[in-house]
A and B are shown apart, each in its own frame.
Chain A
Amino acid sequence: MNLQTDYLGLKLEHPIVASASPLSRELDGIRRLEDAGAAAVVMPSVYQEEIEAEDAAYLALVEKGSWTQPEAAEGYFPEMTAFRVGGLQARLETLRRAAEACAMPIVASLNGSTPEGWTGFARDLEQAGAAAIEVNLYRVPTDPRESGAEVEQRWVETVKTVCAAVSIPVSVKLGPWLSSPSHHAMQLIGAGARGLVLFNRFYEPDIDLASLKPKPSLELSTPYEIRQALLWIAMLAGRVKASLVATSGVATADEVVKYLLAGADVVMTASSLLRHGPHHVAVLREGLEQWMDSRGFDDIGQLRGRLAAAYLHDREALVRAQYIHILTGYQSGR
């Protein structure tokens, strides 16, 4: 059975990729994912702001109390320059070692905060051995004076900048809250993106009524959440010259099959691997193979995009009709 797929120009054995999670943070986890059969791994995002904050905090602690007292003029910690590879260096080191140790592609994810950060960090990641860079446009626009168009234009510029800085393929992971996702997708591809990852899940804190403080509430995704990506992958499949990557909501092989039917080239999952462990990659792959076998497919190309809206005549009609169908089909209390 041929499950091979193309992802940003990289040939993958099959379409199931481990997306960023604590499992892919360290070399040990990455190797476990490869051993479990992941086609590729995305490492957790390198957040420029986080790196800067971490460096600043580290320095503040190391230097605290130094140059203050005659008996401890050099501070309270051994000269650790030789030992510390924290901050960006630590992440690059893990990437370097993972790229050396693994046959599968290792994808680096990047979230910059300044143009210099985007380009500088992207080059560092490329040099450390990343097979591709996923531009993580995770930034909640909080300034009410900035229009959606301005925000999108900034993202387009960012993608251009990163693509110009590196020679490895670049994909973009974007959020769903856009007036015209397809249009923005085209813009990003025009800016040089070789692939789109749909969609980013944003951190939406809850409120703790006891402490009256915002409460982090990031939960693992559920199959219900595949709908949004499913819709937009179906809308884009066949219309863009870029890899389409589905992420969020994969629990079983069913979701993998659905995403592929909608037109995804690659399906990513983190939640299911965190729930069940890295070996779940093999379970998903087996499930996919069994489904294909049961329907008589022997090549993934036969099912990819089979239900994509591109195959239909009127996309809007499809969506509208389904909406009306849902509304009329829903009866309160049933």
Chain B
Amino acid sequence: MADTTETMDGNTAVAHVAYRLNEVCAIFPITPSSPMAELADEWSSKGITNIFGTVPVVQEMQSEGGAAGALHGALQSGALATTFTASQGLLLMLPNMFKIAGELTPVVMHVAARSIATQALSIFGDHQDVMAVRSAGFAMLAAASVQEAHELALVAQAATLKSRVPFIHFMDGFRTSHEVNSLALLPDDAIRAMIDDDLVRAHRDRALSPAHPVVRGTAHNPDTFFQARETANPYYAATPGIVQDAMDKLATLCGRSYQLFRYDGHPEAERVIISMGSGAEVARETALWMTARGEKVGALQVLLYRPFSAEHFLAALPATVKSIAVLDRCKESGGMGEPLYQDVIATLVAAVGQGDRAAMPRVIGGRYGLSSKEFHPGMVKAVFEEIAKAKPKNGFTIGINDDVSGTSLDFDRDFDIEPEGTTRAVFYGLGADGTVGANKNSVKILAEAPGHYAQGYFVYDSHKSGAETISHLRFGTSPIRAPYLIRHADFVACHKFDFLRRLDVLGTAREGATFLLNAPQGPDKVWDALPRPIQKRILDRKLKFFVIDATKVAQELGLGPRVNTILQTCFFAISGVLPPDEAIDAIKHAIEKAYGRKGGSMVEKNFAAVDAAVAHLHEVTVPRELTGAEVPPLVPADAPEFVRKVTAMMMAGRGDEIPVSAMPIDGSFPPGTTAYEKRNIAAEVPRWDADLCIQCGQCSIVCPHSVIRAKYYPEEALAEAPAGFPSAEVNARGFPGSRFTLQIHVEDCTGCGICVENCPALSPTEPGHRAIDMVDKQTLIEKEKRNLAFFETLPLPDRSRVNFANVRGAQFLEPLFEFSGACAGCGETPYVKLISQLFGDRLQIANATGCSSIYGGNLPAHPWKIGASGRGPTWSNSLFEDNAEFGLGYRLAVDQLTAMARQLLAKVAPQVGEDLAKAILDARQVAESEFVAQRMRVMALAAKLEGRTDDDAVNLLTLADFLVRRSVWIVGGDGWAYDIGYGGLDHVLAQDRNVNVLVLDTEVYSNTGGQASKATPLGASAKFAAAGKRVPRKDLAMQAIAYGYVYVAQIAMGANAEQTLVALREAEAYPGPSLVLAYSHCIAHGFDLRQGMKQQALATASGYWPLFRYDPSLRNSGANPFRLDSTRPRVKLEDFAYNELRYSVLTQGDREAAAQMMRQAQAAVDERYRTYEDLAARDGSRFLPNWESA
């Protein structure tokens, strides 16, 4: 059957097959597997059928545990069912996997294999997850490339139906799941031909049915369990043969043959590397290259890892092999070696012992590629060289510098085996400029030319605003088998001039390569503007150099920041990879395809960009002299050593060079390192007008990146101020002789403008001018840097004199969360910053995985910081699903250790002073002044204990800090609170423990790209609810209120910041569990986040997000504990909702359905508001009985 050649990534290639072979997909989003589920959902909503002629149903669940349960149930009921997952998700499925396998149920689970969170979370690829579940009884089939993933998905399905053994089919997360490559697409006929309908019917016949009832899922006693467990052995024994048969059948259909163990290299190899996944492709290509040069080496790729067939393995391994290295992409601490290594050893020992093999070769094991660490031919060569040594290192590592345990092998970074005729191009871009999208298009264009192949792989940084991207593109006339980054580029493009000052963008350029730069200077002046190291690279490597001011061209054409089409055209024009006319036609065709339906008129604009590109492109005549400035260090010389030696390396894109010894052993990092990033991503920043400002604090409280700071200070402090340092008289009573200054951290600002929109101080004479306006950063950056340096020397306002209850006061509290990598205009971070301001010096945070754990804890730098007092928030992330429990664990420990401290204090009271001890033990700790007083008492206690050597004193000294009440906050998004972590959250709220839960409610899974959660509102579109969610969001607040003793508040800073302040402080002061639901606008809502706070106000004004507080402590006085803090709906829901794309997009499709949904949503809002109003109007006695006082 004829193949169709397509370009797609591994996720698409797998989903294409899985969708066609299944009837039910039960899923939960998790990187990097989410796109498989999203594609299935998209196809399902378009009504695309599987090979059986039905449209598969895609069900999003609340967690992977839930997905596995639904999968199990669907299988037991006779459906062909699947799931897509990775990492922790796979681990959550483990209990069901044992069940599914124990019941001999055919299924294929498709996994984009990913790291497991250990000392840190990582979303990137390795085999830790699949290896962790290898004992579940699933067969495991490993794909090394996009093509293999596509075809082994089918092999797995055919084999599971025949063998009844369930399969995990996995590819390497990101490296394969996200690599775009040329693919021979399996025709539906071939897919159909691989599936035996009799086996499908047999599966259905085994399903639970009242027509032929069985009892399954029984409980056994010691007398039978063991025997029953052994019944399945013949099925596992038959599986390797069944898989090979399926592979052979596939070969007859598509011409590509697979083996359970694939060997390539010298037929009499003496040295062999054994591995699986994409690393095996690198090993194979390198072994073939070395073999062609006379070396007796080979590479053995494991495709079917479980059941491990010794017979097939031994048949594939050359008898001549003397030395073997087994590479595992995982780590098993404390083991004799990693899993594949142990399997190989065991197989060979058994074979030699049984006389099936003459001699035992030497076998060593090594680790590589954890968390998508690069694995390239230079590393493979190093391993081959290592196993040629007399005493090679067992348990080696490759790809890092392990200067602690000495496990690592050195490798040649310049070793290059790529075939002649492959063109390699690297593009440095910004996320916002569309570089990656254009490059994906380029890959398609290049791969569509007959006889051509192309590959694309995209590297992103971890910031959500101003993020950088690096695209690696290869193309040529032979299939691209190079699953590693480009290190010898023929073409390098830099789409943002500023990168030159920070990144070694020409590090990958080979001699004679071409360099394309997007620069504002023009061909005559650009050379002098280049940093000296870049000039040197250009001269040393004899680069051809082109410039274009694509930013200007894009602006003139109305394309905003999207320079992608322009630079893509330049790439084709310069590189000559296609004839110019052909390339331009292809680009225009791609533009039509991309924009034709979504926004027809954008086609013309992009066509204009294509036409303008070449006209504005110039080759630069490269001078011989180095005239550019040296690049200053990324971080100042007085930065802490860790920042200089470790953080700065990561910032410079050189994190791979950091040795093991420089990394923390237990995942603990110093806080406050974002202050050294100075990312300078904003073009416009706020400028303060001291005369117009009313000092209200509205700009500061909403700033998502904590770049607006306010101080008041004695007038005399201005004596040393730089010229022009702005200040104003404090306009509140009680501060004579004091000045006020609002300082902007312009280099850390993202330019979101939310502050300006929230500023109430409009000039009466200058239309549109406010007390802060957005202005071009370049006009004030130097001045503001000087001002900031001075501002930081001004004393911090005394916290005990600040009014915490209003916005004006809160601006003077030092934020201990600053300059995070969150999206510009983020709706979550203002709340996070606020709790750091209010409670930071005694704050301990449990943070659920999600946006807040990424902008809060993703390397290279951390926004949580230590305050001027030397204290600050301490922060940790456990998992996505367990955050409430994790936080409760904090509380239990804190309570326990506090009790111990109090006990010890009572015991040593005679020695430290009865009065002091009593004062500490009896202290009320609610107001800030009370905390200040208590801390002074505890310091006095510590001073008395210092130097004492008795156990009680020594122990009390270590516990004394617990005598100051600690503030435990459990923070996470709605995906955690409403879905995956709901069971735990519910349980934690049900405990009588003082924990504070802050739900940053964006009503959607923001971090993983906008999937629906149970917080997603009726009538809003989200992934897995593309045509609009059909039911209202869960009322989590009412569920918590039902307990009666949980403090519950619903807040929206943009609607009422004072209510936000009151609610957070009440929640913190309440001695039991508290739940605060914080409305957080989000990039996934689809509107200009500059208007974020105004949208929040509309959410409340429409009655969609009423503000309220339920304070159980009011029950004691007989008062109604439920207080509705917002007015009756004043605007229609649609006046709020249709400002957002998530709602309005539905009106652009089936408008009648959208109108119907909006009517229903309005009715739901009205009804919910009436319920709250009823509650607020009740007599205090009509709430849950206050049993505590009964």
Contact = CB atoms under 8 A, between A and B. Distances in A.
Interface of A: 26, 48, 51-52, 55-56, 58-90, 116, 211-213
A78 B560 CA distance: 23
Contacts of A116: 604
Contact of A70 (B174, B768, B1148): B174
24 contacts: A56-B599, A56-B605, A62-B1141, A65-B431, A66-B437, A67-B458, A68-B469, A69-B431, A69-B462, A70-B32, A75-B1010, A76-B1009, A76-B1086, A77-B1021, A79-B42, A80-B1145, A81-B598, A82-B45, A83-B1026, A83-B1027, A83-B1149, A87-B1148, A90-B1148, A213-B768
B988 to A, nearest CB: 27
Contacts of B462: 69
Contact of A65 (B124, B1083, B1142, B1151): B1083
B1009 A74 contact: yes
A76 B602 contact: no
Contacts of B1023: 77-78
Contacts of A68: 431-432, 460, 464, 467, 469
A55 B1148 contact: no
Contacts of B460: 68-70, 73
Q: Which 7 A-B pairs have the closest CB atoms?
A: A68-B431, A55-B599, A72-B1009, A86-B1148, A67-B436, A76-B1010, A78-B1026
B1149 A77 contact: no
B1141 A58 contact: yes
A72 B45 CA distance: 20
A83 B1148 contact: yes
Contacts of A211: 762, 767
A59 B123 CA distance: 28
B1086 A61 contact: yes
A72 B174 CA distance: 12
A66 B1010 CA distance: 11
Contacts of B598: 55, 58-59, 62, 80-81, 84
B560 to A, nearest CB: 7
B1021 A71 contact: no
B458 A73 contact: yes
A61 B432 CA distance: 12
Nearest to A70: B460
Contacts of B1008: 71-72
B436 A73 contact: yes
Contacts of A70: 31-32, 123-124, 174, 178, 460
**Max chain B C-beta neighbours (<10 A), residue from A67, A81, A211:** A67
A63 B434 contact: yes
Interface string B547-561: 000000000001010
B733 interface: no
Contacts of B458: 67, 73
Given A80-B1021, A83-B1149, A88 B601 contact: yes
Given A58-B1145, A90-B1148, 20 more contacts: A56-B599, A56-B601, A56-B602, A61-B1086, A68-B431, A68-B432, A68-B467, A71-B32, A71-B1008, A72-B1009, A73-B1009, A76-B1083, A77-B1023, A77-B1145, A78-B45, A78-B1021, A80-B1026, A81-B597, A84-B598, A84-B1148
Contacts of A56: 558, 560, 599, 601-602, 605
Contact of B1084 (A76, A80, A82): A76
Contacts of B34: 71
B1022 interface: yes
B1151 A26 contact: yes
Interface in B653-671: none
A46 B1027 CA distance: 27
A1 B1141 CA distance: 52
B1138 interface: no
Contacts of B432: 68
A211 B560 CA distance: 29
B812 to A, nearest CB: 30
B467 A72 contact: no
Which of B558, B601, B1022, B1027 is the most central at the interface, judged by chain A CB atoms within 10 Å of its CB?
B601
Nearest to B440: A67
A75 B1009 contact: yes
A84 B596 CA distance: 11
Given A66-B437, A78-B1026, A72 B431 contact: no
Contacts of A63: 434, 437
Given A68-B432, A73-B178, A87-B599, A61 B1087 contact: yes
Contact of B601 (A51, A77, A90, A213): A51
Nearest to A79: B42
Nearest to B1148: A86
Given A26-B1151, A83-B1145, A84-B1145, A74 B35 contact: yes
Interface centre among A48, A73, A85 (most CB of B within 10 A): A73
Contacts of B854: 71
Nearest to A26: B1151
B818 interface: no
A140 B768 CA distance: 25
Nearest to B1146: A83
A71 B177 CA distance: 12
Contacts of B1083: 64-65, 76
A212 B767 contact: yes
A71 B1007 contact: yes
A197 B124 CA distance: 65
A83 B1083 CA distance: 20
A331 B605 CA distance: 60
A69 B604 CA distance: 28
Contacts of A78: 38, 41-42, 45, 1010, 1021-1026
B823 A65 contact: yes
Contacts of B124: 70
Contacts of A75: 1009-1010
B353 interface: no
A69 B464 contact: yes
Interface string B569-603: 00000000000000000000000000101111110
A78 B174 CA distance: 20
Contacts of B1149: 80, 83-85
Interface string B1010-1037: 1000000000011111110000000000
Given A55-B602, A77-B1021, A83-B1145, A67 B1010 contact: no
B85 interface: no
B212 interface: no
B600 A88 contact: yes
Nearest to A48: B601
B680 to A, nearest CB: 17
A150 to B, nearest CB: 25
B624 interface: no
A76 B1010 CA distance: 5
B563 to A, nearest CB: 13
Contacts of B558: 56
Nearest to B604: A116
Interface string B1085-1112: 0110000000000000000000000000
A21 to B, nearest CB: 18
B220 interface: no
Interface string B226-250: 0000000000000000000000000
Given A52-B601, A55-B599, A71-B31, A77 B437 contact: no
Interface string B313-338: 00000000000000000000000000
Contacts of B597: 81, 84, 89
B1007 A72 contact: yes
B175 to A, nearest CB: 12
Interface in B153-212: 174, 178
B1145 A67 contact: no
Contacts of B123: 70-71
A131 to B, nearest CB: 23
B216 interface: no
Contacts of B174: 70
Interface in B1-37: 31-32, 34-35
